[in-house]
Structure 1
Amino acid sequence: MKLIILACFATVALAAPQLGPDHNLRQRPIAILKDERQDLGNGEFTYTFETENGITESRRGYRGSKGQINMEGVYRFPLPDGTIAEVRYVADENGFNAQSPLIPTPHPLPAHAIEQIRFAEEQRARGVTFPDY
């Protein structure tokens, strides 16, 4: 009888939801629907990836003017409200540049700051300098 009770407890313990390291319920694995890669061997490549839960990425690599490998691409993923987020990016001689409505932007400068910058540029153009103390 004790063996049956112990077996029941073990069954219940194994059937309990498993928690991940962040103490959230582990989700089932997500199927990869597409994973296409092409490497031309000279720094040029293409990459396309898609999962069943709506995550996608496509990327293209090409040689840059200074010998580096540049990349441009886009990735998309579903947001909790059901809409799809999109981030487009370029990584090249000018650094990494991403564009998306999701990326925070700085507040616009107030009018008085813009006027001070304009005035300083005007003074610089006239040759006005100030000593460094």
Structure 2
Amino acid sequence: MKLIIFACLAAVALARPQTPDSEAETILDERSDNGDGNFQYTFQTSNGISSSNTGTPGSEGQSNMQGSYNFLLPDGTLAEVSFIADENGFQPSSDLLPVAPPLPEHVYELLRIAEDQRARGVTFD
């Protein structure tokens, strides 16, 4: 009896639709490029991946970008990341990213002492 139940469960699991990511299709693809370093693009795929970005020329010759991207996690929840990329580097923001714990109060006091010593010319080489 257990073998029959196991076989039925296995058949149901194998019968569910399976569409691998390699078969995902692009369902939205919008792009604009002004030719002067300003651009914008948005795309979305059938497997839940999407991205939207805007770019502008940077002050140091780089391309600054601001945007977001989304994708489905293995548990089916949506991962969302927004970001800025400029002369200060890539700066992501997401609830999925770890956050450092706050510094203990005594660390702020030590930093204040070190700054006072630097201001008075005290250095330790």
Where does residue 122 of structure 2 map in the other structure? 129
TM-score between the two structures when normalised by the length of structure 1: 0.69
Where does residue 61 of structure 1 map in the other structure? 55
**Counterpart of 2:36 in 1: which secondary structure?**
coil
Shift of 1:108: 2.5
**Counterpart of 1:37 in 2: which secondary structure?**
strand
Shift of 1:131: 4.5
User: For residues 131 and 52 of structure 1, do their structure 2 counterparts lie closer, same or farther at Cα, with a shift above 3 Å needed?
Assistant: closer
For residues 117 and 131 of structure 1, the distance between their equivalents in structure 2, rounded to whole angstroms, comes to 15
The answer to whether the aligner puts 1:99 opposite 2:99 as a matched pair is no
Where does residue 112 of structure 2 map in the other structure? 118
Question: Sequence identity, in percent?
Answer: 51
The answer to whether the aligner puts 1:79 opposite 2:82 as a matched pair is no
**Counterpart of 2:114 in 1: which secondary structure?**
helix
1:53 partner letter: N
User: For residues 32 and 117 of structure 1, do their structure 2 counterparts lie closer, same or farther at Cα, with a shift above 3 Å needed?
Assistant: same
User: For residues 39 and 115 of structure 1, do their structure 2 counterparts lie closer, same or farther at Cα, with a shift above 3 Å needed?
Assistant: same
1:130 partner letter: T
User: 1:31-59 CA deviation, whole Å, 9 max, x = no partner?
Assistant: 11111121111111111110112111011
CA RMSD of aligned residues (A): 2.4
Structure 1: unaligned runs, 5 residues or longer? 1-25
Q: Residue 51 of structure 1: which of 40, 45, 53 is its match?
A: 45
